[in-house]
Amino acid sequence: MLYAARHRLSIGESKQSMVELDSVIKTYTLGQQRIVAVNDVSLTIQPGEFVAIMGKSGCGKTTLLGLIGGLDRPDSGTISVNGEEISQLTDADLTRYRRDQVGIIFQFFNLIPILTVAENVALPYSLQGKSEREIQARVQELLSDVDLVERQTHYPHEISGGEMQRVAIARALINKPQLVLADEPTGNLDSRTGHQVMETMARLSEQHRTTVVLATHSSEAASYATRKLHMRDGSLSSAEEST
């Protein structure tokens, strides 16, 4: 709750919104069936906001995050992130956008099993061609942030689920993204571990004034957000309107 209050105070400071969606539509066609996964969504998110998108399975949360994260393109409508219209980027620029400006955290962690904890965290930074010294310094800083310094030489199968998710958070933050997208980050964790992971995300988001968009079924996870939106059959409404 404290996080929410502090975040709200900081929202008015900035003029440039972080994420802006205007009439975004995304459909999938499977055989004869046409599925409108995201149905005419317009949404503005300010820098530093922590927004939860809630809604039942199949309502379009992952599709929406994928569009904002540049993993997919909309059929129509525009998506701007930090003033840049990502729906207009070339494939190469979109890849750069994903690598440099967005951190993505998935439900199933997506760690690389043959790399250690430290190597998993370092990976996106290594791809930017940083020196070994820079990489090490940044990795140690992040491992300390997520309280995993002592597990850094372990492999993913040698740590717990909550620890894996904290590795994924550190990895998502290594390039200092302004925007973090988290898709059910607590979906595979027990409720206590889920709270720890959400605490870590909320603390880091507050420290670095990172904008977070979280997709979740869990009202407990969503309670860490400064704003809750509800998604139903591809459409968004504020959580208050939907209840």
Ligand X SMILES: Nc1ncnc2c1ncn2[C@@H]1O[C@H](COP(=O)(O)OP(=O)(O)OP(=O)(O)O)[C@@H](O)[C@H]1O
Residues within window 62-81 making contact with ligand X, judged by CB under 6 A:
62-63
Interaction of residue 62 with Mg ion, rule CB under 5 A: yes
Check if the beta carbon of residue 185 is closer than 8 Å to that of residue 215: no
Candidate segments 50-58, 78-86, 122-130, 165-173, binder of ligand X by CB under 6 A: 50-58
Comparison of 21 and 142: residue with beta carbon closer to Mg ion: 21
DSSP one-letter string for 101-168: HEEEE-TT----TTS-HHHHHHHHHHTTT--HHHHHHHHHHHHHHTT-GGGTTS-GGGS-HHHHHHHH
Of 5, 31, 57, 207, which one interacts with ligand X (CB under 6 A)?
Answer: 57
- 70 SS3 class: coil
Burial class (CB in 10 A: 0-12, 13-18, 19+), 205: buried
145, two tokens: 């942030």
Check if the beta carbon of residue 117 is closer than 8 Å to that of residue 154: yes
Closest among 76, 77, 13, 78 to 49, alpha carbons compared = 13
Closest separation in Å from C-beta 17 to ligand X:
23
d(CA 59, CA 70): 19
Closest separation in Å from C-beta 62 to ligand X:
3
Interaction of residue 58 with ligand X, rule CB under 6 A: yes
Interaction of residue 52 with ligand X, rule CB under 6 A: no
Closest among 214, 239, 217 to 19, alpha carbons compared = 214
Of 59, 68, 102, 172, which one interacts with ligand X (CB under 6 A)?
Answer: 59
Residues within window 19-48 making contact with ligand X, judged by CB under 6 A:
28, 30, 35, 37
- 175 SS3 class: coil
Closest separation in Å from C-beta 53 to ligand X:
8
Interaction of residue 205 with Mg ion, rule CB under 5 A: no
Closest separation in Å from C-beta 101 to ligand X:
22
Interaction of residue 221 with ligand X, rule CB under 6 A: no
Candidate segments 25-33, 57-65, 114-122, 198-206, binder of Mg ion by CB under 5 A: 57-65
Task: Give residues in contact with ligand X (CB under 6 A).
Answer: 28, 30, 35, 37, 55, 57-63
